[in-house]
Amino acid sequence: MSASSTTAIAGSETNYLNCERGIWSWLTTVDHKRIALMYLYTLTLFFFVGGIAALAVRTELAFPGGQIMSADTYNRWFTAHGVIMIFLFIVPGIPAVMGNFLLPLMIGAYDVAFPKLNLLSLYVYWLGAAMALVSLGIHPVDTGWTFYGPYSIKTGSAVVWMTGAAFVLGFSSILTGLNFIVTIHKLRCPGMTWWRLPVFVWALYATSAIQVLATPVVGMTLMLLIFERAFGVGVFNPALGGDPVLFEHFFWFYSHPVVYIMVLPAFGVIGEIIPVFSRKPLFGYRAVVVSSMGIALVGFVVWAHHMLVSGISDFSAQFFSIVTFLVAIPTAVKVFNWVSTMYKGSITFSTPMLYAMAFVFLFMIAGTTGIYLATLAVDVFYHDTYFVVAHFHYTIQGGAVIGLIAALHYWFPKMFGKMYNDLIARAAWFLIILGFNLTFLPQFVLGMQGMPRRYYDYLPQFADLHLASTIGAYINAFGYSLALLNLFWAMAVSKKKAPSNPYDALGLEWRTQSPPIKDNFETIPTVDDTPYAYGTPVASH
Amino acid sequence: MFRYLPEQASDFAHSVDSINNLITDISVFFTVLIVGAMIYFGIRYRRRGGVDHATPRIEGSHFLEVIWTVVPTIICIVVAVYGVYGFRVMREVPAGAIEINVTGRQWAWNFTYPSGKKTVDEFVVPVGKPIKLVITSEDVLHSFFVPAMRTKVDAVPGQYTYQWFRPIKTGDFQVFCTEYCGTKHSAMLAKLRVVSEAEFARWEADKGRALSPAEQGEALVKLNACGSCHSVDGSAVVGPTFLKLYGRKGEFSDGQQYTADENYIKESILNPQAHVVKGYPNPSPMPAFEGKLSDEDITNIIQYIKSLSEAPKVVVAKKQEDLTTMAPADRGKKYYQEKLCIGCHSLDGSRVVGPSFKGLYGKAGKFTDGGSYVADDAYITESILKPNAHVVEGYPAPSPMPAYEGQLSEEQVKDIIEFMKTLK
């Protein structure tokens, strides 16, 4: 790929945003880019709603004793935070927004393989989201996002609505995953061999495989719940001879792989950003790809590490502890490769690069604290303490959310043809990273001191760290608001046009105008090299 | 660096902490190494003057890939094996452990000791002895977590789980519920008190003096966790407070008038759905206690609720009994009750820990050292003041009975003997 071919085609005035106008043109579109934007707006909304729930929880916990709400209200807020952030925001997350937008562009296709199915999956997502909101509205669930029985059976009917919502949302996931798999297999442009696929596409491929294979289990669980409630078949309820631990198995068989649905695409984003701003090929491309597939595979056999003290057999506990360590190895391989990419590079500290570097730091903490939790004798202590809460947020917020924000900043000029205010973007980056660490580093210490999670009130000895965590949460929220308002301003108000390829990046998505035309490319492009052919070739040794 | 785990109070806490600290050191080392390298590369190779400098197209290194696959693998194997080994110690209960049944319920922990003693949220164990907890739940999932002992296991309804630990020091330690269980999850706390063996024996044997009906009622209210929904201080929780409940007049949801008398309270306990007072959730979320409480239990609970309605509560000072006018045997009986002999020695011939007092006086038998005895005044006096001087065959040696030398006078011992003589 020569430098000249990456120069943007002179921007024609029509693009996917202005080719058709009116709300109907959006609601009936089958353009993957417009579908991606509709996901983006919906997800942003839920990110804010989930964030408000998080602030409600942190405000209550600022000081010991009741502050602004009762224990029951608190239980509903933390459940709302978990349910909204997980099922409505971060599971669709990067694949639905960035994956939808970028996949056809990155492999040189006019659209995904099944454009109408793609629109359907958006509508299915909206339906599931509406069901979740109904359940949160009419009968606020207070079970935690894990819905463990028999509590969830005793606490009313809302859990069926909620599991129903998860079931419908799951279908959206399955459809998107299926669509992506077929697209990647069938619609790669000439020359786009498997080993030339961008790592982001590989990450989407691994994610899609998990979505298609793991999500049906939630449907199964729902059917069993309905059987239990409607026909009195004892499955999970011990009062009917059922087994509540079985519910935990089913739940985590889906919900553990879901963690990789959240973070694998973020890994892909980081793998795209670091080479561009280092002007170096992604170090160990094949190792990075293989490690993504490895994580996806191993992710299926580690679910019971969420249940090491749940009463499963000692043999199971030992088995699941040991296999969990298998996740650590491919993850470590990725981190080493990202950092090595920067070696002898020409490094620009652009906003996306700052996010990518912060990601590496946060993910080191997320990964190493995962080792504590995989280690059986130590997990017995940490299970269901704040240590787990902090670890989870380092992987999902520090990983998946930072990955999504990094991606939005990186591909923003591609998506909207505009440039955001870089100074504000950096200030927001600083606040997000500062606030995030101030929120969750104290929670590791709280966990080490034995503070259990999902507590409305706590012993006075934990007060200082809780207050620090609450202050951090407000800074974090302010940072996100600033970052997203900055992007919104640039999108909706600013007239500052971005060049078609502001970073001189080699990916195929940059070989069309920004914003792209409706069909992405005038003609299907041909590629003859990897998307990471940066730098001067050196004599191989 | 980063050593925040709480005090170590069980014998395996130390090994758990050493695994934990090993992971901490490895984690800090690699985080500093990788983040340090990233920052170093960032600064060393930063673009200068807004112009890219030439970069080499390095695509990877097989050698490095092997290194950074193999090194983490070795570390993971070491840590994983160490963790599994530590876990096995936590699962192998040593022989002779004291077995205590633990039941979680919304929102209290109930403990049942081998002696039959039952407590709520009060967990007392002897130092140095292995303690095995057999755990279950009555309602939803709970989890029994003792940070100082480094143990935790879920309480699962319909199943039994267990954990064990050997306390290595005396003191008070926190117990948390760590599996979310509803409204008062964060208040589902218990105190673990590790005491000396002798103190534990005394504590376990102490079944309390004969309680008044109201006091028994109070214990029942505690044992059945009524306090989760009914306060005794006038504050509103889920149900009505017990304070000044008795005698209250009001209206049911169907408009019928009621007075909170004995029959109303009894019905409300046995069948809460029969009548629900206006303003309270209907149907009532309260479980029915039909078949769970005896008539006597309910009478006692009503007495307790009544006692909370006597306002202002006047503590009637018990009339000082005139010991001098009492018969010696009656005085002996009083000492028997006051000194809690009742905990180990029955009056009806049944064996508890020590021999029953019924028919004890004048009995003959053998000591553990082979000597024989007749339970006369001298023998009984010695047994009370110095229980370990001679222990009767078939009873635990050394005797768990505390020595009363210095606590009971010769006169008092004589009175107790007189009391025993009445128990033929």
Q: What is the set of domains in chain A, with CATH numbers?
A: 2-8+27-540 (1.20.210.10)
For residue A229, pLDDT beyond 80: no
Q: What one-character DSSP code corresponds to residue B403?
A: P
**Per-residue model confidence (pLDDT) at position B313:** 43
**Per-residue model confidence (pLDDT) at position B98:** 94
Task: Name which of A40, A11, A21 is nearest A408 in CA terms.
Answer: A40
For residue A385, pLDDT beyond 90: yes
Contact state of B178 with A329 under an 8 Å Cβ cutoff:
no
- Chain B (146-175) residues lying within 8 Å, Cβ to Cβ, of chain A: 147, 150-154, 156-159, 161, 174
Determine what percent of chain A is predicted with pLDDT higher than 90: 77
Sheet holding B131-137, edge to edge: B118-120, B108-112, B98-105, B131-137, B161-165
Q: Nearest-CA residue of chain B relative to A368?
A: B27
**Per-residue model confidence (pLDDT) at position B257:** 87
Contact state of B156 with A342 under an 8 Å Cβ cutoff:
no
- Residue ranges in chain B whose pLDDT is less than 70: 207-210, 311-322
Mean pLDDT for chain B overall? 86
**Per-residue model confidence (pLDDT) at position B279:** 82
Q: Nearest-CA residue of chain A relative to B180?
A: A454
**Per-residue model confidence (pLDDT) at position B131:** 96
Determine what percent of chain A is predicted with pLDDT higher than 70: 96
Contact state of A71 with B153 under an 8 Å Cβ cutoff:
no
Task: Name which of B223, B268, B211 is nearest B245 in CA terms.
Answer: B268
**Per-residue model confidence (pLDDT) at position B208:** 59
Q: Looking at beta carbons, which residues of chain A come within 8 Å of B159? A: 238, 243, 245, 311
User: What tens digit of pLDDT does each residue of A149-185 get?
Assistant: 788 877 765 677 787 888 899 899 999 999 999 999 9
**Per-residue model confidence (pLDDT) at position B321:** 57
Mean pLDDT for chain A overall? 91
Which of residues A56 and A539 earns the better pLDDT score?
A56
On whether any CB of chain A is under 8 Å from the CB of B128, the answer is no
User: What tens digit of pLDDT does each residue of A304-357 get?
Assistant: 999 999 999 999 999 999 999 999 999 999 999 999 999 999 999 999 999 999
**Per-residue model confidence (pLDDT) at position B322:** 67
Average pLDDT over residues A213-239: 81
**Per-residue model confidence (pLDDT) at position B355:** 84
- Chain B (176-205) residues lying within 8 Å, Cβ to Cβ, of chain A: 176-187
The pair of structure tokens assigned to A69 is: 């709400």
- Chain A (346-405) residues lying within 8 Å, Cβ to Cβ, of chain B: 346-349, 357, 360-361, 364-365, 368-369, 371-372, 374-381, 383-385
**Per-residue model confidence (pLDDT) at position A2:** 38
**Per-residue model confidence (pLDDT) at position A488:** 95
- Chain A (424-483) residues lying within 8 Å, Cβ to Cβ, of chain B: 445, 448-450, 452-459
Contact state of A310 with B84 under an 8 Å Cβ cutoff:
no
DSSP string computed for B248-300: -EEEBTTS-EEE--HHHHHHHHH-TTS--BTTS-SS--PPP-TTTS-HHHHHH
Sort B62 into a burial class: Cβ within 10 Å, 0-12 / 13-18 / 19+.
exposed
The three-class DSSP label of residue A433 is helix
Q: CA separation (Å) from A403 to A206, A420, B289, B354?
A: 17, 18, 55, 70
Separation between Cα atoms, residue A71 and residue B301, nearest integer Å: 28
The three-class DSSP label of residue B126 is strand
Q: Nearest-CA residue of chain B relative to A73?
A: B183
Separation between Cα atoms, residue B343 and residue B352, nearest integer Å: 8
Average pLDDT over residues A225-235: 77
Q: What one-character DSSP code corresponds to residue A13?
A: S
User: H or E element: which one contains B98?
Assistant: strand B98-105
Average pLDDT over residues A382-400: 96
User: H or E element: which one contains B135?
Assistant: strand B131-137
Separation between Cα atoms, residue A319 and residue A300, nearest integer Å: 14
**Per-residue model confidence (pLDDT) at position B68:** 93
B124-143: b or e for each residue (b if 16 or more CB lie within 10 Å)? bbbbeebbbbebbbbbbbbb
Tokens 């442009």 locate to A189
Sort A226 into a burial class: Cβ within 10 Å, 0-12 / 13-18 / 19+.
middle
Q: Looking at beta carbons, which residues of chain B come within 8 Å of A142? A: 182
A327-364: b or e for each residue (b if 16 or more CB lie within 10 Å)? bbbbbbbbbbbbbbbbbbbbbbebbbbbbbbbbbbbbb
Q: How many CA atoms lie within 13 A of B386 on its CB side?
A: 5
**Per-residue model confidence (pLDDT) at position A539:** 65
Which sign does the torsion angle of CA B281, B286, B288, B294 carry? negative
**Cβ neighbours of B423 (radius 10 Å):** 17
Cβ neighbours of residue A34 closer than 8 Å, sequence gap 6 or more:
A16, A26
Average pLDDT over residues A411-422: 94
Nearest chain B CA: its distance from A266 CA (Å)? 18
Q: Nearest-CA residue of chain B relative to A148?
A: B141
Tokens 């509406």 locate to A130
Tokens 């007060």 locate to A463
A304-318: b or e for each residue (b if 16 or more CB lie within 10 Å)? bbbbbbbbbeeeebb
Contact state of B179 with A384 under an 8 Å Cβ cutoff:
yes
**Per-residue model confidence (pLDDT) at position A341:** 96
Separation between Cα atoms, residue B15 and residue A351, nearest integer Å: 45
Specify the amino acid at residue A265: P
For residue A3, pLDDT beyond 50: no
